[in-house]
Chain A
Amino acid sequence: GEDVEQSLFLSVREGDSSVINCTYTDSSSTYLYWYKQEPGAGLQLLTYIFSNMDMKQDQRLTVLLNKKDKHLSLRIADTQTGDSAIYFCADSHTGTASKLTFGTGTRLQVTL
């Protein structure tokens, strides 16, 4: 079955770059997403990438996709304390019912 895996925890200093990694198993994934979840809140869509792209940049966020290795990463430049949250990657497939399969989430802690 489909599986999406992430490391559990990442700690970075304010101002540094953060890189959150994700691997997925389903080669038919067409869209890959990054969501952010703050304590007690729902999921906020950060960005997404289509599977035929290698990279996407959106302000401080850069998504890299290695389709051969089924590896996805999210780089946050100039990490701020407000970036402290849990980050989930998720994959989906085109079709009439695009359910999302999520990883377990990476908790990002930003220290001063």
Chain B
Amino acid sequence: DAGVTQSPTHLIKTRGQQVTLRCSPKSGHDTVSWYQQALGQGPQFIFQYYEEEERQRGNFPDRFSGHQFPNYSSELNVNALLLGDSALYLCASSLAGRAKRETQYFGPGTRLLVL
């Protein structure tokens, strides 16, 4: 049973560039959430996708956008990168709508460094 996978594992970009991160959910899951974890901090919720729609969003600017595909995989896009966007980006998947408890399982993350 494949767990949550993310690509790439590491990425280096320069200020002003754009980046796309990818996530494949755990088998059988239909919901994907994205979190940003700055160094020494806990993860911060960016947004969540279900049925190809963004259904909740955290306190992040519009430079952060996402997409969910019919196979439930997801992308996180960040435009106009800032130095402060350097972080570990975590994807979590869960199963919605059929259980009260939407336990989220995390992938290994993508470490983004903005220079």
Contacts and interface: CB of A to CB of B under 8 A. Distances in A.
A102 B42 CA distance: 6
Nearest to A44: B106
A103 B42 contact: yes
A110 to B, nearest CB: 20
B66 to A, nearest CB: 14
Give the secondary structure class of A's interface: strand
Contact count band on A: 20 to 34
B48 A99 contact: yes
Interface string B80-108: 00000000001010101000111111111
B94 A98 contact: yes
Nearest to B88: A42
B79 interface: no
Contacts of A59: none
Contacts of A42: 4, 90, 106-109
B55 A48 contact: no
A35 to B, nearest CB: 7
A102 B101 CA distance: 17
A39 B34 CA distance: 20
Given A35-B106, A48-B101, A101 B90 contact: no
Interface residues of B, number: 28
A99 B42 contact: no
Nearest to B102: A98
A101 B102 contact: no
A10 interface: no
B100 A100 contact: no
B45 A101 contact: yes
A31 B100 CA distance: 10
Contacts of A4: 42
A92 B105 CA distance: 14
17 contacts: A4-B42, A42-B90, A44-B106, A45-B103, A50-B101, A88-B42, A94-B100, A98-B102, A99-B33, A99-B45, A99-B48, A99-B56, A100-B35, A102-B43, A103-B42, A104-B42, A105-B42
Nearest 3 Cβ contacts at the A-B interface: A102-B42, A97-B56, A43-B106
